[in-house]
């Protein structure tokens, strides 16, 4: 049984010039390496840009985060849904400790 003509032509092309095939493989490998490097560089740049000092952020017509540093440790006390989204009342650990227990 003879192979289809397309497969035979591909086989002859590869056998006739193995160095050309090797060059294509190296080219693919190089292209993949460059692509991965560019993707990693873009990701690192995005992380660096987004990692700006969070204490420079200011809520429109409201407080700046720098006015209450340490808010990351605050616990939610009450949550309510409003037309524009959610409102959360949060308390720092000192306020939680001062709350009377039921």
Query: Between 30 and 83, where is the model more confident?
Result: 83
End-to-end alpha carbon distance in the chain = 88
pLDDT in tens, 36-63: 888 888 887 776 666 566 667 777 777 7
Query: Whole-structure pTM over 0.85, yes or no?
Result: no
Alpha-carbon distance 45 to 27, whole Å? Answer: 27
Pair 61, 86 in one domain:
yes
Is pLDDT at 93 greater than 80 in this prediction?
Answer: yes
Alpha-carbon distance 7 to 67, whole Å? Answer: 72
Q: Strand 85-91 and strand 75-82: pairing?
A: antiparallel
Q: Which residue has the tokens 């616990």?
A: 75
Pair 36, 62 in one domain:
no
Pair 70, 44 in one domain:
no
Provide the pLDDT for residue 5.
62
> Which range marks the domain in which residue 33 is found?
5-50
Q: Where are the beta strands (DSSP E) in 1-102?
A: 75-82, 85-91
**Count of the separate structural domains present in the chain:** 2
């Amino acid at each position: 049984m003879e192979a289809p003509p397309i497969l035979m032509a591909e086989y002859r092309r590869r056998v006739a010039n193995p160095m050309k095939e090797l060059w294509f493989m190296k080219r693919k490998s190089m292209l993949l390496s460059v692509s991965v490097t560019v993707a990693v560089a873009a990701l690192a740049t995005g992380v660096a840009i987004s990692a700006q000092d969070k204490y420079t952020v200011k809520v429109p017509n409201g407080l700046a985060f720098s006015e209450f540093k340490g808010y990351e440790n605050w616990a939610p006390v009450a949550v309510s849904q409003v037309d524009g989204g959610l409102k959360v009342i949060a308390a720092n650990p000192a306020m939680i400790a001062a709350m009377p227990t039921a």
